[in-house]
Amino acid sequence: MEADGVVEGFMKSVEMQNLKFNKLIGDGDSSVPKRLLEVLPYGPNVLIEKIECRDHLLRNYSQKIAAIAKKTCYPINLRKFIIQNAMRFRTGIVKAIRFQKNENKPLCQQISDLGKDIYNSPYHVLGQHTKCASYFCQGNTVLEQNLVVQAENSGMMLEIINAINRLVANSSSLITDVDNNVCEQFNSVINKYIGGKRINMSQRNAYNARVEAAVIAFNSKEYLRTIHKNIMKKSPGMFGKTFLKNAKRQKLNNQRRRALFIRKKYSNKQLKTSGPDENYGLAEELPPESSYEDLTNMKINFINEIKNMDREQLEKNTRDQAKSQLWYTERRKRLTASKFGKICKMRQNTSCKNTVHELLYGQTNHKIKAIEYGRVMESVAKLKFEELFNLKIKSVGLCIDVEVPYLAASPDGFIENDFIIEIKCPFSAKDNTSLEDAMNNGKIKYCIIDKNTKTIELKKNCDYYYQVQGQLHITGRTNCYFFIFTENWNHTINIKYDSEFWSTKMVKQLSLFYTECLLPELVMPQYGKRLLISDIREPDHIKNKIIKA
């Protein structure tokens, strides 16, 4: 309901207000931006950026800090200090936001500096001021104790860093310093009167009576008998006793049944809906498409448009990668290296519709533990690599291929003049002792031991190998440090560019998929009309292969 209402507001904004809105302020709910990405209310060239509500982010951060302080595995003095200074964790970030947003410098620099200040804020609260900016604090105060070392040794600091990293990742939202409090307040007034999400508990004793009844039922296990005896000063009558006896019998039978027949644990995974069923009369008729000539002209114009972009300037402007809206917008127009493996290994008789839907309308769930772990540990991995090899990792943005403008890559960094680095932080192998141990236990399946050299290499049929080869070709470099990192171990694999692999197994497949499968949906979207994956176009060469199969 919420997503449908917001989408309708965007769809009618031009008609009602003569305006197009390219930003949406929201909380952690991902259904609304997902629906906007599917419908594209202003067409395929205007993507709506979601700005996370400042108050929601800070509230979640404060709750995580409070939860850390309650864990008894950490020293009592640290936990007491955090509880007593809980508000300082939040106020330091608020102060950084207010200062950085008023600085006279480019937005990308504001976001970068804010991210550094946010990351440093827990160190500041715990008494370490080596990286504090001059506006942020004046250094150590009298009798102030540095608790950072103790927090790091106990493992608490790692948990705090994991919590602060979510705010660092949302620096681009926090720099805007906005919230959706007005909407929340308006919704609360509406729900007060219509009884929407909440029950009206404001009548006298209504809420207290419910709580007290729950306490009696929980403690006595015989709510009706206890209430009856206290009010009537005698036990329940014949019918009351019969009712209570039957209720007790049913409860005991249920307990015996559960003990004898243990039910399987079912996943809490929510079912995904893909719109109405076109075979059951629920879907409206699909509007007629434009002619083949019109579609061809639109495809040619689109490729010419992205071909004429300034590649070097685009790379510079997107070095923040996931923190940059421009990075999201431009990579959506192209095939990026992380998807090369999946596309190149597709069978000729496999429909492209699901893959196109995933590329254009799918969203990564950042709450999945493996994704969250990889995102948090990447910055730690970069520091560890620089320390181990005494090399500097240079940030890099979205790189566009010189010859094929619709192929792009975003490596994790450039090293010197001829190397790139790709970092992987496997959550499944974080508890293993080494890469060999993880491979033997089946936690890492994309590596293999070479029989001749006895060294560990990346499998040439895995998606990561396709990704690295694509990155090397697009960036024009010849070597890649493939750095696998966990808190317990790390391993580096040196991968060289294979021009034959690129020319025979990659470039033709990628070009065909882009021009025949992805590009038509980019220039003339069909999915958003009825939210049906089946509406996405299937090229003739795939249709023919499916029929023959």
- Kindly give the pairing relationship between strand 49-52 and strand 23-26: parallel
Distance CA 267, CA 377 (A): 27
Residues 6+ apart with CB under 8 A from 62: 86, 89, 90
Residues 6+ apart with CB under 8 A from 82: 65, 68, 69, 89
pTM exceeds cut of 0.85? no
Distance CA 341, CA 253 (A): 55
Distance CA 521, CA 171 (A): 32
pLDDT at 363: 73
Asked whether the beta carbons of 172 and 114 are under 8 A apart, the reply is no
Q: How many CB atoms lie within 10 A of CB 429?
A: 22
Residue tagged 């499968």 (tokens): 517
Question: Residue 185: is its pLDDT beyond 90?
Answer: no
Kindly state the percentage of the chain with pLDDT values over 90.
43
Strands annotated E in 337-455: 399-400, 407-409, 413-415, 419-424, 447-449
Residues 6+ apart with CB under 8 A from 441: 432
Question: Residue 282: is its pLDDT beyond 70?
Answer: no
Q: List the structure tokens of 103.
A: 């600085």
Place 195 in a pLDDT band, splitting at 50, 70 and 90.
very low
Distance CA 78, CA 398 (A): 42
**Average pLDDT over the chain, rounded to an integer:** 85
Strands annotated E in 376-424: 399-400, 407-409, 413-415, 419-424
Distance CA 223, CA 227 (A): 6
Rounded mean pLDDT of 124-149?
85
Q: How many CB atoms lie within 10 A of CB 52?
A: 23
Cα 482 from chain centre: 23
Max avg pLDDT among 82-86, 144-148, 164-168, 207-211: 82-86
Kindly state the percentage of the chain with pLDDT values over 70.
86
Distance CA 135, CA 122 (A): 16
Asked whether the beta carbons of 425 and 414 are under 8 A apart, the reply is no
Least confident of 248-257, 415-424, 484-493: 248-257
- Kindly give the pairing relationship between strand 479-485 and strand 490-496: antiparallel
Least confident of 95-109, 196-210, 222-236, 522-536: 196-210
Question: Nearest Cα to 447, choosing from 434, 409, 507?
Answer: 434
What single DSSP character describes residue 525?
Answer: -
pLDDT at 270: 52
Question: Nearest Cα to 161, choosing from 386, 375, 432, 392?
Answer: 375
pLDDT tens digits, one per residue of 70-95? 998 899 999 999 999 999 999 999 99
Residues 6+ apart with CB under 8 A from 546: 349, 351
Asked whether the beta carbons of 503 and 249 are under 8 A apart, the reply is no
How long a stretch of residues is the chain? 549
pLDDT tens digits, one per residue of 453-467? 889 999 999 999 999
Asked whether the beta carbons of 474 and 407 are under 8 A apart, the reply is yes
